[in-house]
Structure 1
């Protein structure tokens, strides 16, 4: 018996030793396996945690005018931008051991397993905040083993590569709160109409309960169920000593004012303008489409909301709703190039084609100020005389002829001044000037004004037959309005990324590209478009809107058979309006040809109604004298009309109106304006 007992004892020891060895090997293998997973996870590095976020567009006074969300409302906020009560409520209900575990709460997992076994079904979850974050970032919500293993692996990667604060911030900005709201900022605005940092304890504890079941616990869907969950959260916060019993009771009894609306953007303002902003993000910042649409950018634009509304109203009140005619408007700050209002068509929903920035149309006579600026550089003055009469021009070595005509075939059949030719929009004067300058010289000048559209080298170029975009034409006039400094159309002031970092900020740089004295002379001549003193064989082209204007303006209208334009400016604002049909049908009705001037006048007057009246300030090297508009010479007291006209100093006329003699009284009449204003200079001159 003793022998048998000893053999059994030896056999038992053998089994125990085997079990120990196998267990040790299994433990080592498990340890090696876990170590391999950790090493592999570390080698892979941090998983990408970028999620789609709404890009927000702001006007020039930092009001929201639009956003791109594609069905997911999400606005990223750092932990400092989230109510501490909401952070604590989330930890209390979702993961009490968040700061102490490494992605998995083993005690909680064990408790959940026991509860599930007792109930013979899944009744309790054990997912930590990190696990939920991993699931929302990378996985579907199916219940397969492969999904659970992937979730565990992503959880490890998150814990190894990100801090607890980064994980918590990502979770709060990623989790779904129902009704299309992703993240706490969108949810807080939707449910309570306020930012996440401004939530009260009552609101925070209600919001923290929603992610467990966005449909089940939405206070808008089932308030009673949501209220019970809020009470559980408040009790949990009290147990963790985040709040006191008194605070919990007060929050539980506090009434909740629910909104149920996404408040960031309820209506998209200026859709054509926003399209232009997106194009600028691509071309200036080299951003791709996905980053622009879902990158969580904060784009601060140049849009003036008041001017935009005035522009849209000007179109709707001027043109009948059932008309198929189209139009565009661009308004800019001439000092900076900032585009303050833009209309690209009459109905964005019907046609998103942006006629302000994309359509290439014939500018007609609005091109003439560029032509005449070049003429001023080549010896012309406002008193330069050319004959206005039916003319056939020969060019291309006399092989080709060109016979332009004036509007309604009206001509002076006599010499007229440059100042009057601009005001009456005389085509013969323009083409004669072009032949004097040369086509290449004029095309060069057009490019100096920032216009990049291709120009056809033909005589009709003087009459605006080569297509140009509306925004290019308005920008060219901005250069005249600001005294000859080059500006380019600007839509964006600043761009921030999802982290709030400034990735672009516009710098104001204006290079002097035109002579300031000649630029002022050109502006002063363009003011003659609205001055009846320059009426001649026909009325000045701005006559139809002259009565509407209450301040000094410079401008020019233009028309072809298919296009109608009006572009003009003050020192504070420049705007241009184009009217026409998309298929380039002819403008047959007289009213259609007048739309551009009416819309322009309404827009400018209403836009500037809250700003002081500003005169165009003369430059140092210009001289103002009173001129007889018909002869272009110094006026006398006997001249029926005398108009103050500016010249580059030294080029002003010295002869008087030919039908009058020069006497002392006439000499006084012709004294330059600045000398009349500065009488003391004349007195001091006696002592020199």
Structure 2
């Protein structure tokens, strides 16, 4: 009997020793496997942590005017900038052992495996914060064994190459909180309209519960269900010791105010402007396109949101419901900062930016550059030329050209430069252009900032060159600011997600025009709004003068397919174009829309700002002139207007009453009216 017992004892001991050896061998193998796995993941190096973030556009008033993201609205915050209640709540409910494991929790995995085997499906997960971060970065959210293995491998790589705070920061900035909000900062703004740095305990615990089921636990979908989830989060925080039960109860009882009504729809101010900003940063400034794909940029622009809304308001109010299109650019003539930009009637229907990419004839908007050149070459506002139907012979007799005035209205008499500008007389403009030499207009346009190629031809006096609204608003700024050429500026500063300044700009101005002649040209352009100057035809801006309460100057222009209005105050230079994208004629009613948009926008965009007059520079003198003869006004003159001249060029001959003119010999009257320049043009034209 004793022998049998000994045998059994020895056999049992052998089994125990064998089991111990097997366990020891298994432990060694597992340890070796773990060491090998960790060494392998370490050797693979750190996986990239780059994720697409939201790029934010700021207006000149620092307000957010738009956001761009690759389908994921995300704003990155450093861990130190995130409210600590958010961190504690997240760790408590998602991964209490976060700071004590190597990326996975064997006990949670084991429990989840048992539950999944029982249900014969992947019903339960056991992902740590590191695993969830790995999934957010590199993997899909499918519940498959292959995905879980890959998730484990990426988790180990993260743990072996980054510290815990880096992983936690990454997780909080990538996890999905529902409604298109990725990361705690986007979620905080979406649900509560504030930064993640400013969340209360109640708000933090509410948000921490959402990632388990962003749609299921969203308080915007089911507040009662979300409150139950919030209670789970708060009790988890009590269990981990970061809260007392009293603090948890107080947080749960706090009424939460959601700001989602404002944030449901992303408000974009100036979509055409934002497109122009991105293109300028890439094509002209040289930022890499990948920076916009990655996102996280803070782009500080020059756009004035209030002015932009006024521009869009009047475009919507004035544009008919057909294919007619529009463009508007308004900039600060003293700085070059673009304050408002509309590239079309509706961005979603047509994102083509007509404000910057349009190529259309500018019409009579070229005349201010022509008449500035005339002033540089001896003209004065009193200079007279004959306005009559004229046929011009060009190119040494090889070309015959017979342009006309609008509606074939001619004075059939001599008119002053002041009248020619106010009436937009084409015959006066062409004669001036030919007399000066066709290079003079091109030179002035170039000096003021026009960038489109301009050819030296007779028709350039009538704007036969393709231009866009941005360059016209820019070029007119040289008249508004006293002769300085400005560079249009859309962007003030660009900052990346790390806070590094990638680009910063300052206003660029350089002398371009004589301040005295720029002012005199401006004074001439004020005449288009003065019905007092009506004569053989009406001033071109009389129909919109009732919209205006401040001192403005400008010039309209038209072609069979285009209508322009460009004008300015000392604070704002604005260009408006109206026309069809294809070769389609505009009718008489459509031709007035650009003027109405310009006038109403100018008036309302500057509402509340000082009514600043144009500064009269030294060396310029104002005299009372008869606008119809260019002579010095006296009591005998039926009309007079204060008109400005270079000192020493103002008229000194007084105008005469009709009775005095009748008493003059015919030869003297003719001599007084027709000077040598007029005789030259009479000969040249006929």
Give TM class, smaller chain.
Answer: 0.7 to 0.9
**2:642 pairs with 1:644:** yes
CA distance in 1 between partners of 2:246 and 2:390 (Å): 96
Partner of 1:610 in structure 2? 608
Q: Secondary structure at the match of 1:99?
A: helix
Question: Which range is displaced more, 494-503 or 288-297?
Answer: 288-297
Partner of 1:405 in structure 2? 404
Structure 2 vs 1, CA of residues 539 and 192 (structure 1 numbering), >3 Å: closer, same or farther? closer
Partner of 2:189 in structure 1? 189
User: 1:638 Cα shift?
Assistant: 2.7
Aligned residues: 652
Q: Secondary structure at the match of 1:283?
A: helix
Unpaired stretches in structure 1, ≥5 consecutive residues: 661-688
Q: How does 1:329-408 map to 2 (within 5 A)?
A: 329-408=328-407
Q: Secondary structure at the match of 1:493?
A: strand
Q: Is the contact made by 2:636 and 2:656 (CA closer than 8 Å) also made in structure 1?
A: no
CA distance in 1 between partners of 2:336 and 2:597 (Å): 21
Q: How does 1:12-161 map to 2 (within 5 A)?
A: 26=29, 30=33, 33-34=36-37, 36-42=39-45, 46-106=46-106, 109=109, 125-161=125-161
CA distance in 1 between partners of 2:527 and 2:39 (Å): 84
Structure 2 vs 1, CA of residues 54 and 598 (structure 1 numbering), >3 Å: closer, same or farther? same
CA distance in 1 between partners of 2:312 and 2:113 (Å): 64
User: 1:222 Cα shift?
Assistant: 5.0
Q: Deviations over 1:108-141 (max 9, x none)?
A: 5566667878999877644321221011100123
CA distance in 2 between partners of 1:230 and 1:317 (Å): 48
User: 1:500 Cα shift?
Assistant: 4.0
Q: Is the contact made by 2:341 and 2:355 (CA closer than 8 Å) also made in structure 1?
A: yes
Q: Deviations over 1:46-72 (max 9, x none)?
A: 322222222233332223332234542
Partner of 2:276 in structure 1? 276
CA distance in 2 between partners of 1:558 and 1:434 (Å): 17
Structure 2 vs 1, CA of residues 220 and 424 (structure 1 numbering), >3 Å: closer, same or farther? closer
CA distance in 1 between partners of 2:258 and 2:433 (Å): 69
Question: Which range is displaced more, 16-25 or 492-501?
Answer: 16-25
User: 1:469 Cα shift?
Assistant: 0.7
User: 1:145 Cα shift?
Assistant: 4.5
Structure 2 vs 1, CA of residues 288 and 531 (structure 1 numbering), >3 Å: closer, same or farther? same
Structure 2 vs 1, CA of residues 232 and 326 (structure 1 numbering), >3 Å: closer, same or farther? closer
User: 1:295 Cα shift?
Assistant: 0.7
Q: Deviations over 1:625-657 (max 9, x none)?
A: 222323323333333323222222343334444
Give TM-score scaled by structure 1 length: 0.86
User: 1:169 Cα shift?
Assistant: 1.5
Structure 2 vs 1, CA of residues 394 and 163 (structure 1 numbering), >3 Å: closer, same or farther? farther
CA distance in 2 between partners of 1:546 and 1:123 (Å): 73
Partner of 1:491 in structure 2? 490
CA distance in 2 between partners of 1:535 and 1:245 (Å): 84
Q: Is the contact made by 1:56 and 1:66 (CA closer than 8 Å) also made in structure 2?
A: yes
Q: Secondary structure at the match of 1:618?
A: coil
User: 1:519 Cα shift?
Assistant: 1.0
Structure 2 vs 1, CA of residues 259 and 574 (structure 1 numbering), >3 Å: closer, same or farther? closer
Q: Is the contact made by 1:424 and 1:539 (CA closer than 8 Å) also made in structure 2?
A: yes
Q: Secondary structure at the match of 1:357?
A: helix
Question: Which range is displaced more, 564-573 or 224-233?
Answer: 224-233
CA distance in 2 between partners of 1:101 and 1:253 (Å): 34
Q: Deviations over 1:472-530 (max 9, x none)?
A: 11111112111121212222233332334432333122111222121111111111222
Structure 2 vs 1, CA of residues 106 and 490 (structure 1 numbering), >3 Å: closer, same or farther? same
User: 1:447 Cα shift?
Assistant: 1.9
Q: Deviations over 1:378-425 (max 9, x none)?
A: 222222222222222222222212222112222223332222211121
CA distance in 2 between partners of 1:171 and 1:220 (Å): 23
Q: Secondary structure at the match of 1:429?
A: helix
Partner of 1:212 in structure 2? 212
**2:306 pairs with 1:306:** yes
Q: Secondary structure at the match of 1:243?
A: coil
Structure 2 vs 1, CA of residues 566 and 214 (structure 1 numbering), >3 Å: closer, same or farther? closer
Question: Which range is displaced more, 323-332 or 106-115?
Answer: 106-115
Q: Is the contact made by 1:482 and 1:571 (CA closer than 8 Å) also made in structure 2?
A: yes
Q: Is the contact made by 2:494 and 2:501 (CA closer than 8 Å) also made in structure 1?
A: yes
Partner of 2:593 in structure 1? 595
Give TM-score scaled by structure 2 length: 0.86
CA distance in 1 between partners of 2:602 and 2:23 (Å): 92
Structure 2 vs 1, CA of residues 587 and 15 (structure 1 numbering), >3 Å: closer, same or farther? closer
User: 1:463 Cα shift?
Assistant: 0.3
Structure 2 vs 1, CA of residues 507 and 123 (structure 1 numbering), >3 Å: closer, same or farther? same
Q: Is the contact made by 1:360 and 1:470 (CA closer than 8 Å) also made in structure 2?
A: no
Q: Is the contact made by 2:38 and 2:160 (CA closer than 8 Å) also made in structure 1?
A: no
User: 1:90 Cα shift?
Assistant: 0.5
CA distance in 2 between partners of 1:186 and 1:330 (Å): 32
Q: Is the contact made by 1:68 and 1:293 (CA closer than 8 Å) also made in structure 2?
A: no
CA distance in 1 between partners of 2:386 and 2:100 (Å): 93
Partner of 1:234 in structure 2? 234
Partner of 1:686 in structure 2? none
Partner of 2:511 in structure 1? 512
CA distance in 1 between partners of 2:655 and 2:259 (Å): 76
User: 1:659 Cα shift?
Assistant: 6.9
Q: Is the contact made by 2:235 and 2:248 (CA closer than 8 Å) also made in structure 1?
A: yes
Partner of 1:653 in structure 2? 651
Q: Is the contact made by 2:336 and 2:508 (CA closer than 8 Å) also made in structure 1?
A: no
Q: Deviations over 1:61-112 (max 9, x none)?
A: 2233322345423222233443211111001122223234343445655666
Q: How does 1:165-176 map to 2 (within 5 A)?
A: 165-176=165-176
Q: How does 1:3-18 map to 2 (within 5 A)?
A: none
Q: Is the contact made by 1:186 and 1:262 (CA closer than 8 Å) also made in structure 2?
A: no
Q: Is the contact made by 2:52 and 2:296 (CA closer than 8 Å) also made in structure 1?
A: yes
Partner of 1:670 in structure 2? none
Q: Is the contact made by 1:83 and 1:196 (CA closer than 8 Å) also made in structure 2?
A: yes
CA distance in 2 between partners of 1:571 and 1:275 (Å): 28
